[in-house]
């Protein structure tokens, strides 16, 4: 079924290396759309056998209507936190789709990605500045939501906080904020 | 402990299923003696018949599933122990007794045997150890001695054999005892001790198979085989299943009371290695955390934290 | 109702707990391990018991033991584990012990592709254990169905006193969707004897009017024998009794198969005037549904029958698809027979064999399949729809 943002249907792929929190990011996005906003979602993921390192991707389908096919073939939005992921998946993005990259890792954008809206988010550096590199995924989510408005800011914040370990709520709020601001800049 | 002598007729009526008698076991088979010792132990302990259940393996001893007047399951070859594990965990109030053979427990069932011992789950496992696979016609088992003949070792057994007691102790069993059909009274005592012991108990019950093992290895009549037990076995340790100084122990046991993992009785089995003598009696007893008791603590802790 | 984003495997766990499962024994295996981990976390607080056994066989046997003690019990594994469990599944079937066996299917044969989906265990669920018996197997195609069919599986096990297979696939087991978990679900419990313990009329294996014997808990005083050898109605071993054997085998088959219509669960999409009908299950039904919508958007009359019950195979639904029999009124109210049937599944052809047999030449029957670890793409299914119409 054709992706149809006018009909409120989105296919997203969050990709990078194992250990970057992409699984969690996909989960949060799915909860924001599905639990907080009450839309239909399907979230899937794949990763290598390594506990860290190795390729990782987390896909989320969001729709107002029943979701039939469960896999993302042509994402509207692609987040890449590694060069390998960008090289591999950029060509799958729909014409006119959005590519969000972390320039710390992604230096080369494949030619097939020309025509996509490319957004650079210094997620890892900003997370490091905030004191915890591990929240890079939340910074990236903030940026992604600011650019695409795939879910509301209230929803993404509620979903992030629901998953944040006790005592890290403030850090996570600031990470989201850093993500929103990274786009405006 | 006083040994009340119950008339065989009364024992039979209470604990055996009359309509399925007589048993199929061969004339001279030792299995019946072990069953009898088990029933006498149950009677002596005054166990509630409704709450004593049997998980039974496959083999000649497996046929006891027809005869025991208790809730009993005749399970798969080698699998009585995991069935018993599930049953005991689901209802720890049940007294679960496992009847198994040497092949059932230590060949196909070997993995389950060592893990049940490791878990120290409160089960009583009685191994009907005749050193042969009788039901299928006399093949060798992991308890068949080196050199012995069987239908699948027609030139003599060339594999080593398990010492069921040593295996059980090494795997973590906390009550390990051995006796024979000749020593029927002792057998009853150690079975009673095994049932009472709060942990994984193993009774290695040497019982003669005159029809297969006996015939193939020219051991003569059942009585001759039992006299063989008399001659080969040497009584060690306390005979009533209680804790205490084990006679024959080389100074390392006796009276340890920290209740942790120190054995409260231990016989040095290695000194019988190569002597041709088989130590019988209570060979090992220790008190270690028992699985169902530990799981009850887990439940309490999680229920408390949920509240 | 609690709204949660859940993994399919977690939804299976939630459904089992809701239906009253209070014993789980399992062994780690991809892609089913989450079910064991879920049960390990959740069972203690509801007075249940979890144990990780030493192997797959031990797990299945422990489940049987727990159920004999009167506790609803479940295990979960994948293809290689199901292969190991077959003898013990037969014991559960023969001794008539209620239990649920979850198989989150992955590509085989043997170790295969541990993390990738397949639907290659359908026949194994039916025939993997030796001997004749009626088998029940349910297949979820969504996270909601993981919950609902887990509940059904537990209830069916209790009702029929038999192991019930829940055949998920790695895709459905590892995807997340939002479901509303109900406060409570309808629960069915095994029928216990109506006569008191010690009553001489009690026969452990005398089937009631539905062919299912009432089941006493071990420890309740009935002193009965669960027997894996062929046995008579009393439960006495009868391993050379031809009459007892015929009766027992017959009852084990009939108690399930004669109730097939009652335990057939399915859903349908646009079947009424469909010229090409897809029959599918599990994750494949999702892609097939998408393909049907794509076809309809192009004016092609396609429809989908999604099976939730695979065994007993719902041949009566296929009759209905052909426009005949009772099911026709629901599936094809306009009547008439489709031109072609496509069976979409992740294997080299398993359910298609049953469908073909049931169709009996009234329509063409073909497989749309793959068994390379990928799921069927809607575009590929659509291409086949166009070929056969």
Look at chain C and report how many structural domains it folds into: 2
Report yes or no on C38 lying in a domain: yes
What number is the ipTM of this complex?
A: 0.94
Alpha-carbon distance of B66 to B205, in angstroms, equals 20
Q: Calculate what percentage of chain B has a pLDDT beyond 90.
A: 87
Q: What's the sign of the alpha-carbon dihedral B283, B288, B293, B299?
A: negative
Q: What pLDDT is attached to residue C381?
A: 98
Q: How far is CA C100 from CA B68, B230, C19, C162, C303, in A?
A: 29, 50, 11, 8, 32
Structure token digits, residue A63: 């729709």
Q: Nearest 5 degrees, angle CA C8-CA C12-CA C15? A: 130
Closest CA to B205 of B41, B50, B72: B41
CATH number for the domain harbouring residue C280: 3.40.50.920
Query: Would you say C7 and C143 are in contact if contact means Cβ atoms under 8 Å apart?
Result: yes
- Residue A25 pLDDT > 90: yes
Residues spanned by the domain of C90: 2-181
Exposure b/e, B121-158, CB count within 10 A at least 16 = b: bbbbbbbbbbbbbbbeebbbbbbbeeebbbeebeeebe
Those of residues 13-32 in C touching chain B at CB distance below 8 A are 22-23, 25
Mean pLDDT, to the nearest integer, of B178-202?
98
Residues of chain A neighbouring C289 (CB-CB closer than 8 A): 68-69
The structure's pTM equals 0.94
In this structure, the number of other CB atoms found within 10 A of the CB of residue A105 comes to 18
- In chain C the first and final C-alpha atoms are separated, in Å, by 44
Final residue belonging to a domain, choices C181, C214, C245: C181
Report yes or no on C202 lying in a domain: no
Distance from CA of A83 to the nearest CA of C (A): 24
Distance from CA of A159 to the nearest CA of C (A): 11
Residue A101 CA neighbour count, 13 Å, CB half = 21
pLDDT tens-digit readout, B114-157? 999 999 999 999 999 999 999 999 999 999 999 999 999 999 99
Q: How confident is the model at residue B6 (pLDDT cuts 50, 70, 90)?
A: confident
Report yes or no on C88 lying in a domain: yes
**Is B56 exposed, middle or buried (CB count within 10 Å of its CB: 0-12, 13-18, 19+)?**
buried
Report yes or no on C211 lying in a domain: no
What count of CB pairs under 8 Å joins B to C?
Answer: 148
Alpha helices in C241-302 (DSSP H): 242-257, 282-297
Pairing state of beta strands B71-74 and B52-56? parallel
Closest CA to B80 of C64, C73, A114, A44: C64
Alpha-carbon distance of B87 to B81, in angstroms, equals 10
Residues of chain B neighbouring C229 (CB-CB closer than 8 A): 74
Q: Are C54 and B70 inside 8 Å of each other by CB?
A: no
Alpha-carbon distance of C130 to C147, in angstroms, equals 30
Chains C and B touch (3+ CB pairs under 8 A): yes
Higher pLDDT, B244 or A142: A142
Report yes or no on C253 lying in a domain: no
Q: Are B115 and C53 inside 8 Å of each other by CB?
A: yes
Any chain C CB within 8 A of the CB of A158? no
Neighbours of chain B (3+ CB pairs under 8 A): C
Any chain C CB within 8 A of the CB of A69? yes
Q: Which of A2, A23, A57, A69 to mutate to test the interface with C (most CBs of C within 10 A)?
A: A69
Neighbours of chain C (3+ CB pairs under 8 A): A, B
Query: Would you say B52 and B70 are in contact if contact means Cβ atoms under 8 Å apart?
Result: yes
By Cβ distance, the residue of C5, C290, C377 closest to A34 is C5
Q: Domain ranges in chain B? A: 8-306
Mean pLDDT, to the nearest integer, of B25-40?
97
Distance from CA of A122 to the nearest CA of C (A): 29
Query: Which residue matches tokens 């198989």?
Result: C103
CATH superfamily name and code, B8-306? Thiamin diphosphate (ThDP)-binding fold, Pyr/PP domains (3.40.50.970)
Alpha-carbon distance of B196 to B41, in angstroms, equals 10
Residues of chain A neighbouring C176 (CB-CB closer than 8 A): 27, 30, 41-44
Q: How confident is the model at residue B258 (pLDDT cuts 50, 70, 90)?
A: very low
Q: What pLDDT is attached to residue C50?
A: 98
* Same domain membership, residue C291 and residue C176: no
Distance from CA of C63 to the nearest CA of B (A): 6
- Residue B1 pLDDT > 80: no
Mean pLDDT, to the nearest integer, of B42-51?
97
Distance from CA of C296 to the nearest CA of A (A): 12
**DSSP class per residue in A161-175:** HHHSPTT-HHHHHHH
Closest CA to B72 of C53, C63, C236: C236
Distance from CA of B142 to the nearest CA of C (A): 21
Q: What pLDDT is attached to residue A8?
A: 74
Final residue belonging to a domain, choices C161, C181, C201: C181
The helix, strand and coil proportions of chain C, stated in percent and rounded to the nearest 5, come to: 40, 20, 40
Q: What pLDDT is attached to residue B260?
A: 54
Closest CA to B266 of B277, B274, B257, B255: B255
Q: Are C171 and A27 inside 8 Å of each other by CB?
A: no
Q: What pLDDT is attached to residue B4?
A: 57
Q: Are B85 and C220 inside 8 Å of each other by CB?
A: no
pLDDT tens-digit readout, B210-249? 999 999 999 999 999 999 999 999 999 754 444 333 333 3
- Residue A24 pLDDT > 50: yes
Structure token digits, residue C54: 């030493």
Q: What pLDDT is attached to residue A49?
A: 66
Alpha-carbon distance of A167 to B11, in angstroms, equals 68
Mean pLDDT, to the nearest integer, of B37-61?
97
* Same domain membership, residue C157 and residue C50: yes
Alpha-carbon distance of B163 to B278, in angstroms, equals 10
* Same domain membership, residue C154 and residue C7: yes
Those of residues 98-137 in C touching chain A at CB distance below 8 A are 115
pLDDT tens-digit readout, A31-83? 999 999 999 999 999 876 666 777 899 999 999 999 999 999 899 999 999 99
By Cβ distance, the residue of A34, A45, A68 closest to C286 is A68
Query: Would you say B65 and C237 are in contact if contact means Cβ atoms under 8 Å apart?
Result: yes
- Residue B262 pLDDT > 80: no
Q: Calculate what percentage of chain B has a pLDDT beyond 70.
A: 90
CATH number listed for the domain at residues A5-121+148-163: 3.40.920.10
- Residue B192 pLDDT > 50: yes
pLDDT tens-digit readout, A148-182? 999 999 999 999 999 999 999 999 999 999 999 99
Report yes or no on C337 lying in a domain: yes
Alpha helices in chain C (DSSP H): 8-18, 33-42, 56-68, 79-95, 122-127, 143-160, 170-174, 242-257, 282-297, 315-321, 328-331, 351-359, 378-388
Q: Are C66 and B115 inside 8 Å of each other by CB?
A: no
Closest CA to C302 of C313, C293, C312, C311: C293
- Give the residues of chain C that fall short of pLDDT 70: none
Q: Are A1 and C174 inside 8 Å of each other by CB?
A: no
- Residue B199 pLDDT > 90: yes
Any chain B CB within 8 A of the CB of C33? no
Q: What pLDDT is attached to residue B142?
A: 98
Query: Would you say B50 and C221 are in contact if contact means Cβ atoms under 8 Å apart?
Result: yes
Query: Would you say C201 and B35 are in contact if contact means Cβ atoms under 8 Å apart?
Result: no
Any chain C CB within 8 A of the CB of B13? no
Q: What pLDDT is attached to residue A55?
A: 84
Closest CA to B174 of B69, B300, B265, B112: B265
Alpha-carbon distance of B271 to B170, in angstroms, equals 16
If you measure CA to CA, which chain A residue comes closest to C180? A35
Residues of chain C neighbouring A2 (CB-CB closer than 8 A): none
Q: Are B73 and C54 inside 8 Å of each other by CB?
A: no
Final residue belonging to a domain, choices C144, C166, C181: C181
Closest CA to A62 of A85, A36, A100, A98: A36
CATH number for the domain harbouring residue C93: 3.40.50.970
Alpha-carbon distance of C94 to C248, in angstroms, equals 9
- Residue A2 pLDDT > 50: no
Q: Are C177 and A42 inside 8 Å of each other by CB?
A: yes
Alpha-carbon distance of A36 to A152, in angstroms, equals 10
Query: Would you say B208 and B222 are in contact if contact means Cβ atoms under 8 Å apart?
Result: yes
Q: What pLDDT is attached to residue C40?
A: 97
Q: Domain ranges in chain A? A: 5-121+148-163
- Residue B256 pLDDT > 80: no
Mean pLDDT, to the nearest integer, of B82-111?
98
β partners of residue A156:
none
By Cβ distance, the residue of C174, C178, C377 closest to A41 is C178
Q: Are B83 and C229 inside 8 Å of each other by CB?
A: no
């Amino acid at each position: 079924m054709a992706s149809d943002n006018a009909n409120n249907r989105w296919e997203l792929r969050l990709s990078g290396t194992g250990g970057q929190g992409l699984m969690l990011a996909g989960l949060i996005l799915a909860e924001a759309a599905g639990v907080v906003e009450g839309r239909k979602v399907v979230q899937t993921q794949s990763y290598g056998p390594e506990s860290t390192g190795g390729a990782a991707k987390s896909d989320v389908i969001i729709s107002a209507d029943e979701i039939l096919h469960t896999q993302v073939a042509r994402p509207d939005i692609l987040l890449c936190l590694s060069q390998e992921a960008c090289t591999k998946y950029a060509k799958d993005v729909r014409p006119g789709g959005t590519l969000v990259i972390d320039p710390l890792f992604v230096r080369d954008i494949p030619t097939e990605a020309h025509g996509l809206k490319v957004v650079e988010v210094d997620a890892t550096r900003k997370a490091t500045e905030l004191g915890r590199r591990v929240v890079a995924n939340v910074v990236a989510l903030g940026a992604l939501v600011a650019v695409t408005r795939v879910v509301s800011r209230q929803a993404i914040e509620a979903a992030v906080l629901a998953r944040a370990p006790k005592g890290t709520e403030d850090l996570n709020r600031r990470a989201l904020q850093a993500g929103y601001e990274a786009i405006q800049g | 402990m006083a040994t009340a002598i119950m008339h065989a007729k009364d024992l039979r009526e209470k604990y055996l299923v009359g309509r399925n008698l007589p048993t199929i076991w061969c004339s001279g088979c030792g299995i019946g003696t072990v069953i009898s010792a088990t029933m006498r132990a149950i009677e002596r302990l005054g166990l509630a018949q409704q709450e004593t259940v049997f998980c039974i393996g496959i083999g000649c001893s497996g046929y006891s599933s027809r005869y025991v007047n208790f809730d009993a399951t005749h399970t798969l070859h080698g699998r009585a122990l995991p069935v018993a594990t599930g049953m005991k965990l689901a209802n720890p109030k049940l007294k679960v007794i496992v009847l198994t053979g040497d092949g059932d427990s230590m060949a196909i069932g070997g993995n389950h045997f060592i893990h049940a011992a490791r878990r120290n789950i409160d089960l009583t496992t009685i191994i009907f150890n005749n050193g042969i696979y009788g039901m299928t016609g006399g093949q060798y088992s992991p308890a068949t001695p080196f050199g012995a003949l069987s239908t699948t070792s027609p030139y003599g057994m060339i594999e080593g054999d398990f010492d069921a007691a040593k295996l059980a102790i090494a795997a973590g069993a906390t009550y390990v005892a051995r006796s024979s059909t000749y020593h029927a009274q002792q057998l009853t005592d150690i079975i009673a001790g095994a049932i009472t012991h709060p942990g994984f108990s193993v009774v290695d019950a040497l019982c003669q198979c005159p029809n297969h093992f006996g015939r193939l290895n020219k051991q003569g009549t059942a009585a001759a085989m039992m006299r063989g037990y008399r001659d080969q076995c040497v009584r060690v340790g306390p005979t009533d299943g209680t804790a205490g100084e084990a006679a024959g122990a080389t100074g390392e046991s006796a009276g340890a009371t920290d209740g942790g993992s120190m054995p409260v009785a231990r016989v040095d089995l290695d000194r019988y290695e190569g002597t041709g003598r088989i130590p019988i009696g209570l060979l090992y007893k220790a008190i270690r955390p028992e699985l169902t008791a530990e799981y009850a603590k887990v439940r309490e802790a999680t229920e408390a934290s949920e509240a | 109702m609690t709204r949660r984003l859940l993994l399919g495997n977690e939804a299976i766990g939630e459904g089992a707990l809701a239906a009253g499962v209070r014993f789980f024994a399992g062994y780690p295996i991809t892609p089913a391990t989450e079910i064991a981990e879920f049960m390990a976390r959740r069972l203690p607080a509801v007075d249940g018991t979890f144990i990780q056994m030493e192997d797959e066989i031990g797990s299945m046997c422990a489940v049987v033991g727990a159920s004999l003690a009167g506790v609803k019990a479940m295990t979960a594994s994948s293809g290689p584990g199901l292969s190991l469990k077959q003898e013990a599944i037969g014991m559960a079937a023969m001794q008539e012990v209620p239990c649920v066996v979850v198989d989150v299917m992955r590509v085989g044969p043997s170790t295969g592709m541990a993390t990738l989906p397949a639907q290659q265990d359908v026949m194994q669920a039916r025939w993997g254990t030796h001997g004749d018996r009626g088998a029940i197997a349910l297949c979820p195609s969504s996270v909601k169905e993981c919950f609902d069919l887990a509940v059904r599986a537990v209830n069916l096990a209790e009702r029929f006193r038999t192991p019930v297979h829940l055949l998920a696939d790695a895709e459905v087991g590892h995807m997340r969707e939002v479901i509303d978990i109900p406060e409570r679900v309808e629960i069915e419990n095994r029928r216990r004897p109506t006569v008191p313990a010690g009553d001489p009329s009690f026969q452990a294996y005398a089937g009631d009017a539905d062919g299912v014997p009432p089941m006493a808990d071990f420890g309740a005083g009935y002193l009965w024998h669960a027997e894996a050898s062929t046995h008579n109605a009393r439960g006495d071993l009868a391993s050379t009794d031809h009459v007892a054997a015929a009766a027992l085998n017959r009852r084990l088959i009939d108690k399930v198969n004669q109730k097939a219509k009652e335990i057939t669960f399915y859903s349908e999409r646009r079947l009424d005037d469909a010229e090409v009908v897809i029959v599918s299950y599990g994750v494949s039904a999702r892609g097939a549904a998408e393909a049907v919508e794509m076809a309809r958007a192009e004016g092609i009359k396609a429809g989908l029958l999604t099976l939730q019950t695979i065994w007993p195979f719902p041949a009566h639904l296929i009759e209905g698809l052909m426009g005949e029999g009772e099911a026709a009124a629901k599936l094809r109210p306009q009547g008439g027979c489709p031109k072609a049937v496509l069976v979409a599944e992740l294997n080299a052809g398993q359910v298609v064999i049953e469908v073909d047999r049931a169709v009996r030449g009234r329509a063409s029957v073909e497989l749309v399949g793959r068994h390379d670890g990928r799921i069927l793409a809607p575009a590929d299914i659509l291409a086949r729809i166009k070929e056969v119409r």
